[in-house]
C-alpha cells in the first residue's frame, strides 16, 4: 500500500519543519509522493533528490476558481521548481452549470503544459461533495478526453471527502489507462483499503504513517 500513498500536508499552517518531517517519512516508508503547497516545491525537490519519491503540488487550490490563465502559470512555475505531479482543481462552478466543454478545455490546457516537455502526471480534483452522480460522471469523462492521468475525489477542504460510491462511479466513467486518487477523510488503514477495493489507485492523506503502522 505504501507506494499508493501521496503523503500530504496542505494546511495554511504547514511550516518548513513540517515539510522536512514529511519528506523524511516519505523516504522511510517509500510513499509515492509528497504533496505540498507550491511554495514548498523547491525545498521538497531538494529533500527528495536522492529518493524515488515524487514531488506533487496543487494548482487552483482549494477552490478551483482561478482563471485558466493563472492555473497555467501556476503549473509552469511548479514544473520549473521541480514538481513531478500536478493536482489541479476544476472550475467547480462550471461543472455545476454543466458547461462541460469549458471544464474539459481548462483541464486540456493544463495537461498540454504538463506533457509539453516532461511527462508530468496530472490529477484532476473534482471536489465530489459538491457534484451530483451525473456531474461526477460527466466531469470524469471530460478529464479522460482532456488526457489527464488521474481523476481525484477531493481537496480535503470541502464539505466531505472520498466515498466508495464516487470511486466506483469515476472508475466506470474513465478509460482503463487512467488512475483514481481518493482523498479527504482517509485516516485509517481500513478506510484506505475500502477505497482501493472500490478502484482507487492512489490515496491522498496526511495520516499516511498512522495508516501504514495502524489497523
> Would you please indicate which residues are annotated as catalytic (active-site) residues?
87, 152, 181
3-class SS of residue 6: strand
Cell of 42: 523547491
Q: Which helix (H) or strand (E) holds 151?
A: strand 150-152
Please name which of 60, 141, 62 lies closest in space to residue 95, comparing C-alpha atoms.
141
Cell of 17: 519543519
Q: Among positive and negative, which fits the CA dihedral 64, 67, 68, 69? A: negative
Amino acid at each position: 500500500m505504501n507506494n499508493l500513498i501521496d503523503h500530504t500536508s496542505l494546511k495554511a499552517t504547514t511550516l518548513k519543519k513540517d515539510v522536512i518531517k514529511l519528506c523524511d517519512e516519505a523516504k522511510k516508508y517509500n510513499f509515492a509522493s509528497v504533496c505540498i503547497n507550491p511554495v514548498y516545491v523547491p525545498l521538497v525537490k531538494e529533500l527528495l533528490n536522492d529518493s524515488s519519491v515524487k514531488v506533487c503540488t496543487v494548482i487552483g487550490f482549494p477552490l478551483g476558481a482561478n482563471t485558466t490563465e493563472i492555473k497555467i502559470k501556476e503549473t509552469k512555475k511548479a514544473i520549473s521548481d521541480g514538481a513531478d505531479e500536478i493536482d489541479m482543481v476544476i472550475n467547480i462552478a462550471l461543472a455545476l452549470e454543466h458547461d462541460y466543454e469549458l471544464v474539459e478545455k481548462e483541464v486540456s490546457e493544463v495537461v498540454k503544459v504538463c506533457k509539453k516537455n516532461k511527462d508530468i502526471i496530472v490529477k484532476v480534483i473534482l471536489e465530489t461533495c459538491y457534484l451530483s452522480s451525473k456531474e461526477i460522471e460527466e466531469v470524469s469523462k471530460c478529464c479522460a478526453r482532456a488526457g489527464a492521468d488521474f481523476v481525484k475525489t477531493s481537496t480535503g477542504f470541502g464539505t466531505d471527502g472520498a466515498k466508495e460510491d464516487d470511486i466506483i462511479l469515476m472508475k466506470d466513467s474513465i478509460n482503463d489507462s487512467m488512475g483514481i486518487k481518493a482523498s479527504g477523510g482517509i485516516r485509517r488503514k481500513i478506510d484506505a483499503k475500502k477505497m482501493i477495493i472500490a478502484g482507487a489507485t492512489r490515496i491522498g492523506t496526511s495520516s499516511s504513517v498512522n495508516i501504514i503502522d495502524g489497523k
